[in-house]
Amino acid sequence: MTPELWDVSRLRFEETAPPALTAAQRTTLDHRWAAAVRANPALFDGPVAALTALERDDAGGLLVSWTRLTYRFRALRGLPDAPAVSGLFVAVLQRCADGRLLVGRMSPTTSAPGRWQLPGGTLEPPAVGAVLDLGVLRRHAARELAEETGSDTPADALVPGPVVRGSRGSLGFLFTAPPRPALELRVRYAELACAETASGEVSEFDRVELVGSTAELRALPGPLVSYLELAAARVLPS
């Protein structure tokens, strides 16, 4: 699937029941997850909000159907006749005062080691009985930005942007953060990395860079998340 970027004028969410699995599918899922954890013990089977369906209209509206799952459901990818579920995520376009864009490289303990992407992450569901809405997305994006880069931007300062469809069918909600001085972005990340190392934790990003064009983005050593160049092109020259 070719990544796409959509401008959305109206966004709605509808919670649905989790997909049913056959006994064979459940066994395969558990075996695949166990193998993934053996390969990367840092993986955590935490709660996620997963995409089950979406519907776009001609007026720019988007209806997102979602359900509550755990991270291990990603192991169903490629399994014949498995339920069609994809990831939901948030990502933040954080520029510095001179217009460059902050990107980070995923550390070896993450699910995508060495991959460059925007600050952000898989969407966690709201509390049971609570609704998923733009406010939940914005707060999650602010938390991810702080956890990965050290920048403590308030959630209400993040401006909603386009929606991105990734190459594997995942759906992402982009936000733009207020610009910060380049030195401040680098210092905040360095302070975060030092604090995590001192406490025995591993940073989600093992490196951050400020890129001034999509050409600089393509020149980074390592793979890019599928939607990154498309999203960056909204704020960077070619």
In tens digits, the chain (238 residues) has pLDDT values of 899 999 999 999 999 999 999 999 899 999 999 999 999 888 889 999 999 999 999 888 999 999 999 999 988 887 888 888 899 999 999 999 999 999 999 999 888 899 999 999 999 999 988 899 999 999 999 999 999 999 999 999 999 999 999 888 899 999 999 999 999 999 999 999 999 988 988 889 999 999 999 999 999 999 999 999 999 999 999 8
Residue 200 identity (one-letter amino acid): G
**Strand 47-56, strand 4-6: pairing:** unpaired
Neighbours of 47 (CB within 10 A): 13
φ/ψ (deg, to 5) at 112:
-135, 65
pLDDT at position 75, please?
Answer: 86
The CA–CA distances, whole Å, from 137 to 104, 151, 212 equal: 20, 17, 27
Distance CA(171)–CA(192), nearest Å, equals 28
Distance CA(8)–CA(182), nearest Å, equals 30
Residue 132: strand, helix, or coil: coil
Q: Which fold has domain 4-232?
A: Nucleoside Triphosphate Pyrophosphohydrolase (3.90.79)
Q: Measured over all CA atoms, what is the biggest interatomic distance in the chain, rounded to whole angstroms?
A: 55
Residue 99 identity (one-letter amino acid): G
